[in-house]
Amino acid sequence: MPANQPLLEVKNLRVEFPTRRGVLVAVDDVSLHIDPGEVLGVVGESGAGKSMTGSAIIGLLEPPGRIAAGEILLDGRRIDNLPYEQMRKVRGNEIGAIFQDPLTSLNPLYTVGRQLVESIQTHIPVGEKEARGRALDLLKEVGIPGAEERIDHYPHQFSGGMRQRVVIALALCAEPKLIIADEPTTALDVSIQAQIISLLKRLCREHRTAVMLVTHDMGVIAETADRVAVMYAGRIAEVGPVQDVVKRAKHPYTHGLMGSIPTVGHEVEKLTQIDGSMPRLNAIPPGCAFNPRCPKVFDRCRTERPDLMPAENSEVACWLFEDRRQATAAAGD
C-alpha cells in the first residue's frame, strides 16, 4: 500500500431499500476515508445512516437493502462487488466487526475459547494447540482477568463489559487491518465504557489497526476519535479533525449537537435544543435535508442540496460556506 493511500476509501456510496411504495435511500452519496492506525468517528441521530454505512462496508446489508452506487476500496482493492464467499474471507481476515450487543456475536452453547479457536482456525492455518494458545493471548491482551481459567467459560458467565472484551478478541483473531465498531459501548456503564475506549485506542496504536467507530455519543467520539464525520438523513453534514468539529462546529446541525451536551465546570442556564426530528426516509425534503430544522436557513437551502465544501480544517455541506469554496477554487487556479 502506498504511504499516502488510505486503508479504507468509500466513494459516493448509495444504499437503497426497494419497497412496494418506491425506493428508500438510506445512505446517499457518502464519501469518506480512514488511514492506518486512525479512528474515524461516525456520529448522528438514530436513522442518520451511520450503522447502514458500516454494514455496507462489511458486506452485511440486510435484504432487500443493496448498494446501488459508489465504490468501497480496502487497501486500494475494490470489495463492494466481490462474490459472497470472497467477501466472507475479507470480512474475517481483513475486516473485524464489533457490535453493540455482544450476545448477538457470541454463541451461548459454546465456550468463548472454542469460539475463538474456531475463528482463528477459519482464517489462519494453525493447529488446535497453537490456536488455543493464540486465543489465550488475545483474552489476556483485551484484559480478561484469569484468562487461563475463563477461556473455558460460556458467554453467560461473563459480565457485559467482559463479553464486549471477548467480542473485541474475536474481531482481532485474524489481525484485521480495519475494525468496524458499531455502538460498542452503548450498553455498558460509564466506567466500563472508559476501559473499552482505552482498549480500542491501544489496539490502534500498537497494531496500526484502523477503526470506524459508529456511535451517537459525542463524549465517546471526543475521547476516542482522530477525525469525526457527522451524518444527517443519509449524508455527511460535516467531517474534520475531532477537536475542530467538537469545539468549532461549522454546520448548524453539528453546532446544535455540540450545544446540547453539558460541559463539566461550564454553567449555562439552558442547553441548545434542535427543534423537530430527523425526517423519515420517504419524506426527506428537497435541498438541504436539515433545512426545516435549521436556524440559519435561507432560500437556496430549500431548493439546492449542498455538497461538502472546505471550511478551515473541516469540510461541511452547507451553503453558508459557499464563498469559501469559491475562494479556495480561485486560489487553486
The span from the CA of 333 to the CA of 313, in Å, is 20
Q: In what order do the strands lie in the sheet with 178-182?
A: 95-98, 178-182, 210-215, 39-43, 227-232, 235-241, 314-316, 309-311
Asked if 303 contacts 287 with a C-beta cutoff of 8 angstroms, the reply is: yes
pLDDT at 196: 82
pLDDT at 174: 86
Query: Residue 195 pairs with which residues in a beta bridge?
Result: none
* Helix ranges restricted to H, 189-321: 190-207, 218-224, 242-247, 252-259
pLDDT at 218: 83
252 Cβ contact list (under 8 Å, min separation 6) = 290, 294, 295, 296, 318, 320
pLDDT digits (tens, 9 = 90+) for 309-326: 999 999 999 999 986 555
Asked if 221 contacts 215 with a C-beta cutoff of 8 angstroms, the reply is: yes
Asked if 238 contacts 36 with a C-beta cutoff of 8 angstroms, the reply is: no
The DSSP H or E segment spanning 66 is: strand 66-74
Q: Does domain 8-94+174-263+271-332 have CATH number 3.40.50.300?
A: yes
- For the record, the C-alpha cell of 88 comes out as 466472507
pLDDT at 87: 94
pLDDT at 15: 98
pLDDT at 223: 87
Look up the pTM and report it: 0.91
The span from the CA of 213 to the CA of 150, in Å, is 28
Max distance between CA atoms of the chain, in angstroms, equals: 68
Q: Which residues of the chain have pLDDT under 70?
A: 1-3, 260-268, 270-271, 323-333
pLDDT at 18: 95
